[in-house]
């Protein structure tokens, strides 16, 4: 039978080929997509696994490091020095023992092992050659070593964690370390044990290619992966992290992943053979390829049957066509063979049916994709027929959104109508009608009523679905839950209304602008300021609203805020609605505009016109108060300080921060009586002004006098709200008043002493002179000799009293010379031992410096004698009396603290006793004349006054420090001079000071002249007498060539001693002279007798002093 390639055959072949191609292409696309997804999933999962392991290892390495560092902080030098202690210490590190399976070790700074746990017999070995020890020693930081071969018997590969140990000075004294055996279970063992699939594995190596951990233990510690042998291995050393197909160094094609550890330079690698990794996919592909040919063959068979049906008779074909809508599957194909025309028709029909079936399959596939997307969507998605009688698809989100599941919607497609809220149902029906007619309906917002009765807002979108030929197939739509969004929008609208109402109630102008500088809104105060409505403002720029100078500044600030953000405030002037310029303080800040596409500006204004005027007035008042030369203090009605000016801080030493918030009680010295404070409070609380004086205390403890005036401050209602105190420091005035009183006392005593000094000294000279001559003429030990000595002693006491009075009043004559203070103390030490007695210890400590001062050594000795006498009286039961000398630099701070002194270099003499001491008030008065702490009859009150006078006469200073029951100390400061000291004169015995020279004695007092003439004659001198100045000149003219020395009274009738001397020198310039006087220093000074080159003797004269001085002058 000849095969006919008619229409049926051709259609059969064509359709079969098309189906075969379509099936093959579909299979190919599916396999390709599945393969790509499978590969990506496998790569991602593998990298995720090693990333988790890497994070875990980083955490465990960090834990190991923390453990070894914490152990290092407990190591002491004693542990490093004692191996037994070190091993006991290491054995107690239980946490470290768990982590470090190869032992814990302590090395000293030289690398010698001083302790290990557990013991392996290596203590004392030197490990300084190890890389981990050298790295720790060099860096001084914790370190994780490279893998190394352990020196223990097992010789396993290991790694070491180290931590340096420092002593208190920061010096490295030891290294504490913990070792991990890479062959044993440890924090790294998980890598060697973890498998990927059946043959996949993990390994660990570092950036120098050393294998740290590998399932093949023979590869550990080896660098057996050469450069280029493993592409991804090399890339990972360079920083690569991820997964890719690769051929490893052993030629195995695998899926390789790499991940860097953050704690070290280690890299985790994973190899999963590609054959095993992709085995599931390969099996699926093989299965599809096996199924595809039979499927194609089956399809061809079906097509052949269809073609056969197309050859049926036309009637059957028509009936078939008529009944076609009710047919399903194979029933749709006409299976009867007919003529070519009918066959052509039937073939066309069957092709059409076949195409429709193919389209249906595509639709099914598309529907499946759509269903997948819709099922995972958060929206309630549906697809219904045009009349909504059939529900083609409902997504699973219908249940949580409505309370009804998919089956219920498929069963009753109009269930959606029941879910819609009654108030929104009409709008929904209108929308559904529009969508059901095939038109695009606008999105709709409506309310759903959940099965549980709850109501919420949804947003509905829908689109018509058309076939390829334009037939309307139905409506595809979705519902999105927008309840939260609606609630936020309602809140925003409420907030906007509230904020606008709120800012309208704010009296300060407020505005906000967009990024173009246009006003977008403002409050009522801003409208009132400009005299414009909100509509006239919104949309305008500042240049359009204010033609003054403000816009340029305002625009620049806005631009700066938009560029840099932040907050700015500045002052400017705005033209108000009434035409006046108002001073305004503007505050602005930037904020992100709507949509985040720019920066908007919001600002407010504060009218400071009146404030500026008030500030100007207040600034003047504030400057006046702050710069006032008196202290100003303002308190509230409870006395709490709210303000002090700069002068207050300068005077008291308390800064504003230290004073504000406290009451003025911190200034009280305790010397003001409670009655005075009570009087103050009573006055000011009654609204009166109080004036008075206080003795207050400064921050440093110094006391000062203040004249205070306190007045109440009242508010506009006359109520007292504050008190203001004006305080003037009158310390200097008080000091001047005290000095004036002291000076007046001194002047009174001086007048008394000066009035009697001359006559009294003349009387004492006669008494001492005659008594001394009698003493020389009587035998020592006889009653008369003792009586005469008592007369001399009493007269000398009278002379001492007169000298003291003159010293106190500073009218005593002194003979200052360059002397060393140490020499004075050394010379008077023996005499002081007799004064203080045997029950008191005398201690002197002389400074090594050359302490040369210009002083009268006799008077300084008198000062030390007076202080020693006072010290002795203060220690009736014995004690210690000490004198020390030294160099002292008096600076400005000392003078300020003690209120006396001129900065410079001084010799300091400290005289101290361990007696009964004095309180502070008594110590302040010790230098006052006639003030004494002794019992009646035991003190004149002039001893320390004389000391004070002598020191002041030497341009020095003296202070007193004393504490009850602890003793008293006097510090004497004498100015140093830069010259050599003159050796102290030692008095020669009067019995050895005679001579044969001729001496002219001129003295107007007969008794004094008689004593001098008698004494000098007994010493072998020839004496010429004169009773006044003229007679003295006459006697000298008579015997000018014989007279070797003049002994002249300073004050004499007719011509004083200086005039006599000047006249005599014209006759004989080289003649020598000694001036004698009992007058005070001021009178002697007026006669020019206190020059450095003048020899002077002060009355009363003692025989010894007179004889010594005469001999001294003649022999010069």
Give the pLDDT band of residue 745 (cuts 50, 70, 90). Answer: low
pLDDT-derived band of residue 345, with 50, 70 and 90 as boundaries?
low
**Residues in a beta bridge with 967:** 963
pLDDT at 106: 92
Give φ, ψ of 66 to 5 degrees: -60, -40
What is the per-residue pLDDT for 911? 93
Q: Does residue 969 register a pLDDT over 70?
A: yes
Q: What is the mean pLDDT of residues 618-635?
A: 82
Among candidates 501, 537, 509, which has minimal Cα distance to 606?
509
Predicted pLDDT of residue 972? 94
If you search the block for the tokens 């969507």, which residue do you land on?
377
Domains 75-183 and 817-975 fall in the same CATH topology: no
> Which residues are bridge partners to 519 per DSSP?
513
Name the most confidently modeled range: 114-118, 540-544, 894-898, 944-948: 114-118
Tokens of 758: 């001359």
Residue 641 is predicted with a pLDDT of 92
Which of 106-120, 249-263, 778-792 is modeled with the greatest confidence? 106-120
Determine phi and psi for 226, rounding to 5 degrees: -75, 160
Q: Tell me, what's the pLDDT at 376?
A: 58
What is the per-residue pLDDT across 7-21, written as a single tens digit (0 to 9) for each?
456 666 777 778 778
User: Which CATH number is 627-729 given?
Assistant: 3.30.450.20
**CB distance 418 to 409 below 8 Å:** no
Is residue 945 within 8 A of residue 745, CB to CB? The reply is no
Calpha distance 576→583 (Å, rounded): 10
CATH homologous superfamily, domain 488-612? PAS domain (3.30.450.20)
Which residue did the predictor score with more confidence, 271 or 749? 271
Which of 149-163, 203-217, 548-562, 700-714 bottoms out in mean pLDDT, i.e. has the lowest?
548-562
* pLDDT tens track for 913-967: 999 888 878 777 777 766 666 654 455 556 777 888 888 888 899 999 988 888 9
Q: Output the average pLDDT for the chain.
A: 80
Residue 796 has pLDDT above 80, yes or no: no
pLDDT the model gives residue 3: 44
Tell me the percentage of the chain whose pLDDT exceeds 90. 9
Return the pLDDT at 700: 86
DSSP 742-755: HHHHHHHHHHHHHH
pLDDT at 338: 58
% pLDDT > 70, the chain? 82
Residue 532, CA distances (Å) to 493, 519, 557, 576, 578 in order: 25, 13, 24, 10, 12
Residue ranges of the domains in the chain?
Answer: 75-183, 377-481, 488-612, 627-729, 817-975, 990-1115
Specify whether the CB–CB gap between 962 and 918 falls below 8 A.
Answer: yes
Q: Residues 490-508: what's their mean pLDDT? A: 82
Q: What was the pLDDT predicted at 987? A: 42
More confident residue, 71 or 183: 71
Q: Sign of dihedral through CA atoms 651, 652, 655, 660? A: negative
Phi-psi region of 893 (alpha: psi -120 to 50; beta: other; left: phi over 0): alpha
The mean per-residue pLDDT over the stretch 349-376 comes to 66
The least confident of 198-202, 218-222, 786-790, 979-983 is: 786-790
Collapsing DSSP to helix, strand or coil, 213 comes out as strand
Give the model's confidence band at 94: pLDDT under 50 very low, under 70 low, under 90 confident, else very high: confident
Sheet of strand 703-714: strand arrangement: 641-644, 631-636, 720-729, 703-714, 690-697
3-state secondary structure of 512: strand
Among 653, 674, 671, 663, which Cα is nearest to 633's? 663
φ, ψ at 234 (rounded to 5°): -65, -40
User: CA dist 134 to 139, 342, 782, 978, Å?
Assistant: 9, 100, 102, 66
Q: For the ranges 48-52, 335-339, 544-548, 623-627, which has the lowest average pLDDT? A: 335-339
Query: Do residues 555 and 542 make contact, with C-beta atoms less than 8 angstroms apart?
Result: yes
DSSP sequence for 345-385: HHHHHHHHHHHHHHHHHHHHHHHHHHHHHHHTSSSEEEEE-
Q: Taking Cα atoms as reference points, which of 798, 787, 786 lies closest to residue 940? A: 798
Q: For residue 883, is pLDDT > 90?
A: yes
Q: Name the more confident of 586 and 12.
A: 586
Query: What is the pLDDT confidence band of residue 971, given thresholds at 50, 70 and 90?
Result: very high
First-to-final CA distance of the chain = 181
Structure tokens at 1092: 């450095």
Residue 812's nearest CA partner among 982, 1003, 947 is: 947
pLDDT at 985 over 50: no
pLDDT digits (tens, 9 = 90+) for 183-215: 777 667 667 777 887 888 888 888 888 888 888
> What pLDDT, on a 0 to 100 scale, did the predictor assign at position 990?
41
* pLDDT above 60 (res 811): no
Phi, psi (deg, nearest 5) at residue 107: -110, 145
Q: Right CATH number for 377-481 from 3.40.50.300, 3.90.420.10, 3.40.50.800, 3.30.450.20?
A: 3.30.450.20
In DSSP notation, 603-659 reads EEEEE-HHHHHHHHHHHHHHHHHHT-SSEEEEEETT--EEEE-HHHHHHH---HHHH
User: Is pLDDT of 372 > 70?
Assistant: no
How far is Cα 253 from Cα 245, in angstroms, rounded to an integer?
7
Does residue 163 or residue 339 have the better pLDDT? Answer: 163
DSSP letter for 443, please: P
Tokens of 1050: 């300073």
Confidence (pLDDT) at 1096: 77
Q: Is the pLDDT of residue 321 over 80?
A: no
The answer to whether 712 and 684 are in contact (CB under 8 A) is yes
Q: Considering only CA atoms, which of 802, 808, 857 is closest in space to residue 1079?
A: 802
Q: Is the pLDDT of residue 334 over 90?
A: no
The tally of CA atoms less than 13 A away on the side-chain side of residue 540 is 17
Tracing tokens 């690398």 back to the chain, one arrives at: 111
Could you tell me which of 856, 831, 835, 880 has the C-alpha nearest to residue 949? Answer: 856
Alpha-carbon distances of 958 from 324, 732, 908, 927, rounded to whole Å: 140, 19, 10, 10
Q: Which CATH number is correct for 75-183, 3.40.50.300, 3.40.50.1860, 3.40.640.10, 3.30.450.20?
A: 3.30.450.20
CATH code, residues 817-975: 3.30.565.10
The pLDDT score that the predictor gives to residue 107 is: 94
As a whole number of angstroms, the distance between CA 819 and CA 975 comes to 12
CATH number of 990-1115: 3.40.50.2300
Whether the predicted model's global pTM rises above the 0.75 cut: no
Pick the closest to residue 1110 from 1030, 992, 947 (CA basis): 992
CA distance 800 to 802: 5
């Amino acid at each position: 039978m000849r095969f006919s390639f008619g229409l049926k055959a051709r259609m059969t072949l064509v359709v079969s080929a098309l189906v075969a191609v379509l099936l093959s292409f579909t299979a190919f696309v599916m396999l390709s997509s599945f393969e790509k997804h499978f590969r990506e999933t496998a790569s991602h999962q593998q990298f995720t696994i090693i990333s988790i392991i890497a994070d875990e290892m980083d955490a465990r390495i960090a834990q190991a490091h923390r453990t070894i560092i914490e152990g290092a902080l407990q190591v002491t030098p004693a542990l490093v020095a004692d191996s037994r202690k070190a091993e006991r210490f290491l054995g107690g590190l239980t946490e470290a023992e768990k982590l470090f399976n190869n032992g814990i070790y302590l090395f000293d700074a030289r690398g010698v092992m001083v302790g290990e746990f557990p013991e392996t017999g290596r203590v004392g070995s030197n490990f300084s050659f190890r890389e981990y020890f050298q790295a720790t020693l060099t860096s001084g930081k914790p370190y994780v070593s490279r893998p190394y071969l352990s020196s223990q018997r097992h010789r396993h590969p290991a790694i070491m964690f180290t931590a340096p140990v420092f002593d208190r000075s920061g010096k490295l004294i030891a290294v504490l370390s913990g070792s991990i055996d890479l062959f044993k279970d440890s924090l790294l063992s998980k890598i060697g044990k973890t498998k990927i699939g059946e043959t996949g594995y993990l390994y660990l190596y570092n950036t120098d290619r050393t294998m740290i951990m590998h399932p093949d233990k023979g590869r550990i510690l080896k660098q057996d992966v050469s450069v280029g042998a493993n592409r991804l291995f090399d890339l990972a050393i360079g920083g690569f992290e991820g997964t890719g197909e690769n051929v490893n160094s052993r030629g195995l094609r695998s899926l390789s992943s790499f991940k860097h550890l953050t704690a070290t330079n280690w890299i985790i690698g994973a190899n999963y053979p590609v054959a095993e990794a992709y085995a599931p996919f390969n099996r699926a592909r093989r299965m599809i390829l096996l199924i595809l040919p039979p499927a194609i063959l089956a399809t061809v068979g079906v097509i052949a049957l269809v073609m056969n049906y197309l050859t049926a008779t036309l009637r059957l074909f028509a009936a078939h066509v008529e009944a076609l809508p009710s047919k399903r599957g194979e029933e749709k194909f006409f299976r009867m063979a007919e003529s070519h025309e009918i066959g052509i028709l039937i073939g066309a029909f069957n092709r059409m049916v076949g195409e429709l079936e193919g389209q249906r399959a595509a639709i099914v596939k598309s529907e499946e994709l759509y269903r997948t997307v819709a099922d995972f969507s958060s929206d309630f998605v549906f697809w219904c027929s045009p009349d909504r009688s059939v529900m083609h698809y409902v997504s699973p989100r219908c249940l949580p959104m409505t309370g009804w599941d998919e089956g219920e919607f498929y069963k009753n497609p109009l269930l959606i109508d029941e879910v819609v809220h009654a108030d929104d149902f009409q709008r929904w029906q209108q929308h559904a009608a529009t969508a059901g007619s095939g038109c695009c309906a606008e999105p709709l917002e409506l309310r759903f009523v959940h099965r549980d009765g709850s109501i919420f807002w949804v947003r509905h979108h829908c689109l018509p679905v058309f076939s390829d030929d334009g037939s309307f197939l139905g409506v595809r739509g979705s519902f999105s839950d927008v309840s939260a969004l609606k609630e936020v929008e309602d809140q925003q609208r409420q907030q906007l209304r509230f904020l606008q109402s709120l800012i309208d109630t704010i009296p300060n102008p407020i505005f906000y602008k967009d990024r173009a500088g246009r006003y977008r809104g403002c409050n009522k105060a801003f409208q009132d300021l400009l005299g414009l409505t909100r509509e006239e403002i919104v949309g305008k720029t500042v240049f359009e609203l204010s033609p003054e100078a403000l816009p340029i500044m305002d625009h620049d600030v806005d631009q700066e805020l938009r560029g840099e953000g932040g907050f700015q405030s500045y002052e400017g002037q705005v033209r108000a609605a009434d035409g006046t310029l108002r001073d305004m303080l503007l505050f602005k800040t930037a904020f992100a505009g709507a949509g985040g596409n720019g920066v908007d500006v919001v600002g407010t204004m504060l009218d400071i016109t009146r404030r500026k005027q008030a500030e100007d007035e207040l600034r003047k008042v504030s400057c006046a108060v702050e710069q006032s030369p008196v202290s100003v203090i303002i308190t509230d009605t409870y006395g709490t300080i709210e303000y002090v000016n700069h002068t207050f801080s300068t005077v008291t030493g308390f800064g504003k921060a230290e004073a504000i918030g406290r009451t003025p009680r911190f200034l009280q010295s305790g010397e003001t009586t409670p009655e005075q404070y009570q009087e103050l409070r009573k006055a000011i609380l009654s609204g009166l002004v109080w004036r008075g004086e206080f003795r207050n205390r400064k921050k440093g403890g110094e006391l000062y006098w203040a004249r205070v005036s306190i007045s109440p401050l009242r508010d506009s209602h006359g109520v007292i709200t504050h008190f203001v105190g004006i305080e003037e420091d009158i310390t200097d005035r008080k000091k001047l008043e005290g000095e004036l009183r002291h000076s007046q006392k001194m002047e009174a005593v001086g007048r008394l002493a000066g009035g009697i000094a001359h006559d009294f000294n003349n009387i004492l000279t006669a008494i001492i002179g005659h008594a001394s001559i009698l003493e020389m003429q009587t035998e020592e030990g006889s009653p008369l000799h003792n009586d005469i000595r008592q007369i001399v002693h009493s007269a000398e006491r009278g002379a001492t009293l007169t000298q003291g009075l003159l010293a106190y009043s500073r009218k005593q004559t002194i003979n200052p010379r360059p002397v060393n203070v140490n020499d004075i103390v050394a010379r008077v030490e023996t005499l002081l031992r007799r004064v203080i007695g045997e029950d008191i210890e005398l201690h002197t400590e002389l400074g090594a410096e050359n302490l040369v001062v210009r002083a009268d050594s006799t008077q300084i000795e008198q000062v030390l004698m007076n202080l020693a006498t006072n010290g002795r009286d203060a220690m009736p039961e014995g004690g210690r009396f000490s004198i020390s000398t030294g160099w002292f630099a008096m600076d400005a701070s000392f003078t300020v603290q003690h209120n006396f002194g001129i900065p410079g270099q001084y010799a300091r003499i400290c005289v101290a006793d361990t007696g009964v001491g004095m309180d502070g008030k008594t110590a302040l008065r010790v230098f006052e004349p006639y003030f004494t702490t002794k019992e009646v009859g035991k003190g004149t009150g002039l001893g320390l006054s004389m000391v004070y006078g002598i020191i002041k006469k030497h341009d020095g200073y003296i202070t007193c420090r004393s504490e009850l029951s602890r003793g008293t100390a006097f510090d004497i400061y004498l100015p140093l001079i830069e010259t050599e000291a003159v050796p102290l004169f030692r008095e020669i015995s009067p019995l050895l000071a005679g001579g044969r020279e001729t001496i002219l004695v001129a003295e107007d007092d007969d008794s004094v002249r008689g004593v001098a003439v008698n004494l000098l004659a007994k010493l072998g001198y020839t004496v010429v007498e004169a009773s006044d100045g003229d007679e003295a000149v006459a006697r000298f003219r008579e015997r000018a060539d014989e007279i070797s020395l003049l002994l002249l009274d300073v004050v004499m009738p007719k011509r004083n001693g200086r005039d006599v001397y000047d006249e005599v020198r014209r006759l004989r310039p080289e003649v020598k002279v000694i001036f004698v006087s009992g007058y005070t220093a001021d009178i002697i000074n007026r006669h020019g007798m206190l020059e450095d080159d003048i020899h002077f003797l002060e009355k009363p004269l003692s025989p010894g002093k007179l004889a010594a001085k005469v001999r001294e002058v003649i022999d010069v």
